[in-house]
Amino acid sequence: MQTRAAILDGVGQDWKVETISLDPPKAGEVVLELVGSGLCHSDEHMVTGDMALAPEVQEELGIQQFPIIGGHEGAGRVVEVGPGVTTLEVGDHVVLGFIPSCGRCPSCAKGQQNLCDMGAVLLAGRQITDMTSRHHRHDGSDLGIMCCIGTFSEVTVVNEASCIKIEKDIPLDKAALVGCGVTTGWGSATYAADVKSGETVVIVGCGGVGMNAVQGAAMAGAANVIAVDPVEFKREQAQVFGATHTASSLEEATALVMDLTWGAMAEKCIITVGEGRGHHIAPAMAIIGKGGRVVHTSVADINDTEVTMSLFDLTLMQKELVGSIFGSANPRRDIPRLLRMYQNGTLKLDELVTNTYTLDDINVGYQAMRDGENIRGMVMYDHG
C-alpha cells in the first residue's frame, strides 16, 4: 500500500515529505494507522548528527542509517495484523513505545522494560525480527524508521513488541504523547530521581520532556520544584505543571536553591535540556547537596566524551550521577497507568501541545521547537 512520510536523507537536511510504499506485515508485525506524532527533540538529534552511527557500525549492522523516516511518539489503530501476532487484533488502539518491550528478556523479566534487549537495534531503524525494511521509496529503495516505529509515516508497520494496547475511550492524540515525552519526563522524576515528599528538585530544560519531569516531581510531593529554562514562556507554563519557582539559568537557580534550603541545596536535579553537553554536569552536581542525585535524561552527541566535575565532591558528599532512558519506566505498566491518571484528572496532557501542524509543515514545527515556541508541537494526520 501507499502512504505519506517525512524522510531525512542525511545530517543537516530538512525533512522531505513523500509518498512511500509499505510492504505487508511479516510474522509478529502489525500495520497501524496513526493519528499523528509528537515532535520530540530526539528526532532533531538525527538532523544535527548527534545520533549518527559511525560508518563501521552501520556496516556491522548491515544497514544504512539514512534515509530514515523520523518520529517516535505516536498512537493509532491496528488496521492489519501479520502472521503469528497474538497480542493485537484489527481495531485495537495502541500507543507506540519508543523502545520495544518483549516481556521475556532478562531486563523485561526484571521489571526494566525500558532496557529490553530488543532495544539493541533501536538506532538501526529496521524491523526488529529480521532487520529488513517494510518502508520503501517510490524507486523501491529501503527506508529506515526512527526507533523501529517511524511515526512520521501516516501509516506504519511495526513489531507488536512496540505496541501497548490501550482503552478505546482515550483520545489517541493525547495518548501519543505518552509514547515518549510524558513517560520519559514523569519517570525521570518519579523513578530515576526517586523524588520523595518534601524534597527540593531542580529541573533544567522545560520542553516536552522537562515539563513532565516538573509534573512528576510535583505529583511525587516535592516541596520546591524549580523549573529552569531561558525561555520565559516555558517558565510561565512550568507553573501550570506544578513548578513552585523558576529561574532562567542554572546559575540563577543555584542562588535561589541556596536561599530556599539555607545552604543545604537540592536533593535532586534532572537535566532535560534539548542538547546534552558535558559542561552541564558540574553546575548540576553543585546544585545538589550531600547524598543528592543528578539524573541525565537529555541526549548528547554520540561522540561527546568530555565531562568535567569534582570527583572529590562526588566521593566526600556521596553524590550520584545517573542516566535515564524512557524515564526508567516499564512502558507496559506505566503507559496505561499514566493514561488512567489523565482520565481521572491528575495528569496534564491537554496543556502540553502548544501547536499542531500538517505533515507537510513538519519543518515549520521543528523550527518552532528550535525557537522555543512549543512545549510540544505535533503533526496530525488526516485519514479522510
Ligand X SMILES: NC(=O)c1ccc[n+]([C@@H]2O[C@H](COP(=O)([O-])OP(=O)(O)OC[C@H]3O[C@@H](n4cnc5c(N)ncnc54)[C@H](O)[C@@H]3O)[C@@H](O)[C@H]2O)c1
Q: Which residues bind ligand X (CB under 6 A)?
A: 40-42, 45, 180-181, 184, 204-210, 228-231, 234, 272-276, 297-299, 324-326, 369, 372
Say if CB 294 and CB 284 are below 8 A apart: yes
Please give the distance of CA 215 from its chain centroid, rounded to a whole number.
16
Q: Which is nearer to ligand X, 85 or 225 (CB)?
A: 225
Q: Select the residue whose beta carbon is closest to ligand X and give its number.
A: 207
Residues near 136 by Cβ (< 8 Å), separated by ≥ 6? Answer: 20, 21, 22, 23, 142, 143
Residue 257 interacting entry, from ligand X, Zn ion, none, C-beta within 5 to 8 Å by type:
none
Options 108-116, 196-204, 217-225, 366-374: segment touching Zn ion (CB under 5 A): 108-116
Say if CB 188 and CB 270 are below 8 A apart: yes
Q: Which is nearer to Zn ion, 97 or 292 (CB)?
A: 97
Q: Which is nearer to ligand X, 3 or 330 (CB)?
A: 330
Residue 326 interacting entry, from Zn ion, ligand X, none, C-beta within 5 to 8 Å by type:
ligand X
Residue 267: name the closest of 279, 253, 256, 257 by CA: 257
* Smallest distance, ligand X to C-beta of residue 337, A: 18
What's the CA angle centered on 247, arms 246 and 252, to 5 degrees? 145
Residue 40 is a binding residue for Zn ion (CB under 5 A): yes
Task: Choose which of 105, 122, 202, 285 interacts with Zn ion (CB under 5 A).
Answer: 105
Residue 366 in grid coordinates: 521543528
* Smallest distance, ligand X to C-beta of residue 370, A: 8
Residues near 344 by Cβ (< 8 Å), separated by ≥ 6? Answer: none
- Binding residues for Zn ion restricted to 130-189, rule: CB under 5 A: 180
Task: Choose which of 22, 69, 116, 158 interacts with Zn ion (CB under 5 A).
Answer: 116
Residue 229 interacting entry, from ligand X, Zn ion, none, C-beta within 5 to 8 Å by type:
ligand X
Task: Choose which of 3, 37, 42, 153 interacts with Zn ion (CB under 5 A).
Answer: 42
Residue 31 in grid coordinates: 500495520
Residues near 194 by Cβ (< 8 Å), separated by ≥ 6? Answer: 268, 293
The Cα–Cα gap between 325 and 181 comes to: 11
Residue 102 is a binding residue for Zn ion (CB under 5 A): yes
Q: Which is nearer to Zn ion, 264 or 380 (CB)?
A: 380
Options 33-41, 133-141, 337-345, 359-367: segment touching Zn ion (CB under 5 A): 33-41
Q: Residue 380, class by beta-carbon neighbours within 10 Å (0-12 exposed, 13-18 middle, 19+ buried)?
A: middle
Options 101-109, 268-276, 300-308, 362-370: segment touching Zn ion (CB under 5 A): 101-109
Q: Which is nearer to Zn ion, 87 or 248 (CB)?
A: 87
* Helical segments of the chain, H only: 41-48, 55-61, 106-109, 172-177, 181-187, 210-219, 232-240, 250-260, 281-287, 311-316, 331-343, 362-370
